[in-house]
């Protein structure tokens, strides 16, 4: 129900009359209902003062900041109220225990590969790619260490991206996955979409007691919230990729939606807005949950994934990755 | 659920009411707000409003649409385009 606010224009964000007030450099000033916003994403050049930051902290609003190219660069997170020493100890314990870690890492890969196959099944002539992914999934089951597992995941992903040329209609071609910087429109879309998924997962992790820096599939290192990377794996094919297929196969993107030069390609502001619109619609889409017996949104599914992980860590219920059943 | 709110409030209190509503909904016209909200938040909002209004003089109408697919909005003249969260 709560929405995310995306700000592309440059201007100032203020606290005014106990709600969010945005004063753009040009254009109309605007109020946003604080009670209905759960996170703010800043893409433009925005000024903000401590009064506003305090106010956001009070209301539990996370602020995600993206750089000029639309990449996630950091967050302002209100003082964490959901802290749990016990869970942190368990999280670390599962990381240090090789078997436990392998189990969780494998689960994330399993979820990711399952959703990749599910995406491909929707389209014709993708059997060979599905077969390849299936093979890698089997291999992943027999891996002994994380590097091998990452290798399987990588090869499966290569096969998956190869299938993009079969799936995608129109003039957009996908040669190979290139990051930093993305070199063609599809890479730009994948990068931007993953960036959004990543911060959405992070927002949800912060609503639980999990510590976002301790992860299982990705190596937990400095300067990044790697648990968010782990959980994103499951949701990337489910959210980012389906949006990309929709945008391209329905011819919703034009040349001016990309900022292109010789060695890079980024989404332009109009392109980002289109993507975000689809992203928000997707996140608000609801599915009847089999176990809960009620409708839950994609956004809430991410949170449920965190809860499942907590249950696993506390030895309450064994973790099984989400497998879309609809 | 989706809610449309219209109000008639004595001038002395109208600003207080607007300030409260502004925190929950999007201001679309002079005395009209609209927006999606959860049942709990709506109750919270009503409680806050009750503390401000004088029941003998003021009135606030809530039009509630359970399923937002069941309503359509069309606009004549100026569209203020206030309901977007992408800015």
Q: Tell me how long chain B is.
A: 87
Q: Which of A172-176, B45-49, B79-83 has the lowest mean pLDDT?
A: B79-83
> So what's the pLDDT on residue A212?
81
CB pairs under 8 A between A and B: 57
Contacts of B23 in chain A (CB under 8 A): 18-19, 33-35
Q: Are A146 and A99 in contact (CB under 8 A)?
A: no
Over residues A46-74, the pLDDT tens digits come to 898 898 888 888 888 888 888 887 777 88
For B38-50, what is the mean pLDDT? 90
What CA dihedral angle connects A155, A156, A158 and A162, to 10 degrees? Answer: 140
Among chain A residues, CA nearest to B19: A17
Rounded Cα–Cα distance for residues B46 and B20 (Å): 10
Contacts of A19 in chain B (CB under 8 A): 19, 22-23
CA distance B78 to chain A (A): 14
* DSSP code, position A224: S
The structure tokens listed for A178 are 């290139």
Q: Which of A96-105, A138-147, A275-284 has the lowest mean pLDDT?
A: A138-147
Rounded Cα–Cα distance for residues A97 and A83 (Å): 23
Over residues A225-243, the pLDDT tens digits come to 778 888 888 888 888 888 8
What's the pTM value of the predicted model, to 2 decimals?
0.77
Interface predicted TM-score (ipTM) of this complex, two decimals = 0.79
Q: How confident is the model at residue B62 (pLDDT cuts 50, 70, 90)?
A: very high
């Amino acid at each position: 129900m709560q929405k995310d606010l995306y700000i592309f224009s440059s201007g100032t964000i203020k606290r005014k009359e106990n709600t969010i007030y945005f004063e753009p450099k040009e254009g109309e000033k605007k109020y946003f209902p604080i009670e209905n916003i759960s996170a703010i994403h800043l893409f433009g050049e925005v000024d903000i003062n401590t009064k506003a930051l305090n106010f956001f902290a009070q209301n539990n609003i996370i602020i995600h900041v993206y750089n000029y190219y639309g990449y996630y660069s950091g967050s302002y997170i209100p003082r964490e109220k959901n802290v749990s020493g016990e869970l942190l100890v368990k999280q670390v314990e599962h990381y240090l225990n090789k078997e436990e870690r392998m189990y969780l890492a494998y689960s994330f890969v399993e979820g990711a590969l399952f959703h990749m196959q599910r995406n491909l099944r929707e389209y014709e002539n993708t059997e060979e790619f599905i077969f390849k992914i299936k093979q890698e999934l089997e291999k992943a089951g027999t891996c002994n260490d994380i590097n091998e597992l990452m290798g399987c995941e990588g090869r499966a992903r290569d096969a998956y991206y190869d299938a993009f040329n079969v799936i995608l209609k129109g003039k957009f071609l996908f040669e190979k996955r290139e990051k930093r910087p993305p070199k063609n429109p599809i890479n730009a879309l994948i990068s931007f979409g993953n960036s959004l998924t990543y911060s959405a997962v992070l927002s949800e992790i912060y609503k639980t007691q999990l510590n976002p820096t301790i992860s299982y599939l990705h190596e937990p290192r400095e300067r990044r919230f790697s648990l968010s990377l782990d959980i994103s794996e499951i949701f990337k094919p489910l959210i980012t990729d389906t949006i990309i297929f929709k945008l391209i196969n329905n011819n919703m993107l034009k040349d001016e939606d990309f900022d292109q030069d010789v060695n890079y390609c980024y989404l332009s502001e109009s392109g980002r807005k289109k993507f975000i619109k689809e992203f928000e619609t997707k996140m608000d889409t609801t599915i009847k949950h089999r176990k809960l017996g009620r409708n839950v949104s994609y956004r809430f599914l991410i949170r449920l994934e965190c809860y499942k992980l907590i249950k696993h860590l506390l030895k309450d219920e064994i973790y099984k990755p989400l497998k879309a059943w609809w | 659920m989706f809610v449309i709110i219209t109000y008639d409030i004595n001038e002395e209190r109208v600003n207080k009411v607007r300030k409260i509503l502004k925190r929950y909904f999007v201001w679309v016209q002079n005395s009209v707000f609209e927006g999606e909200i959860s049942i709990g938040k709506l109750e919270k909002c009503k409680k806050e409003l009750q503390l401000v209004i004088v029941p003998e003089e003021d009135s606030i109408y809530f039009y509630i649409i359970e399923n937002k697919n069941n309503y359509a909005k069309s606009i004549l003249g100026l569209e203020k385009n206030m309901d977007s969260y992408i800015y």
